[in-house]
């Protein structure tokens, strides 16, 4: 049976169109390159700063201090192993920094920075 067809061969019609707020946004990937960001307009007339690429992270150390550290490499990504090969940073990715290995705790594509917690 073909998708969207009745058993008689007729078509199923959607009961309504999709709404503007249901549309998917642009997928923004954050690569490991010199820092580059831009501001975009969002719903309600607000603006959001999004990252396009970044090479520094705010790392929370064991003694609860935050330090700015240079990112060397993306080690692994639990959600998709191919993202780590391309040095794409997402929430939950493990990165190699000057201070040691750290896990990204925020969503870099949605926010204007990268926050991480030291794991070693």
Nearby residues of 27 by Cβ (< 8 Å), 6 or more positions away: 109
For the chain, domains (ranges, CATH) are 25-118 (3.10.290.70)
pLDDT at 27: 83
pLDDT at 1: 54
Q: pLDDT tens track of the chain, all 120 residues?
A: 577 888 888 999 888 998 988 988 778 899 999 999 999 998 899 999 999 999 999 999 999 999 999 999 999 999 998 999 999 999 999 999 999 999 999 999 889 999 999 997
pLDDT at 23: 87
Q: What single-letter DSSP state applies at residue 18? A: P
* The two structure tokens encoding residue 9: 């061969």
pTM here is 0.79
Taking the C-alpha atoms of residue 75 and residue 15, their distance in angstroms, rounded to an integer, is 47
Count of CB atoms situated within 10 Å of the CB of 23: 7
Q: What is the β-pairing status of strands 88-89 and 30-32?
A: antiparallel
Taking the C-alpha atoms of residue 94 and residue 44, their distance in angstroms, rounded to an integer, is 34
Nearby residues of 94 by Cβ (< 8 Å), 6 or more positions away: 74, 75, 76, 77, 101, 102, 103, 104, 119
């Amino acid at each position: 049976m073909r998708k969207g067809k009745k058993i008689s061969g007729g078509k199923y019609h959607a009961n309504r169109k999709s709404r503007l707020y249901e549309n998917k946004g642009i997928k923004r990937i954050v690569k490991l390159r010199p820092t580059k960001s831009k501001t975009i307009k969002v719903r309600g007339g607000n603006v959001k700063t999004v990252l396009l690429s970044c090479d520094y992270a705010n790392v929370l150390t064991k003694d609860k201090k935050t330090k700015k550290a240079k990112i060397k490499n993306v080690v692994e990504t639990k959600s998709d192993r191919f993202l780590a090969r391309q040095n794409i940073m997402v929430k939950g990715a493990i990165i190699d920094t000057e201070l040691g290995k750290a896990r990204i705790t925020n969503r870099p594509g949605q926010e204007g920075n990268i926050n991480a917690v030291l794991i070693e």
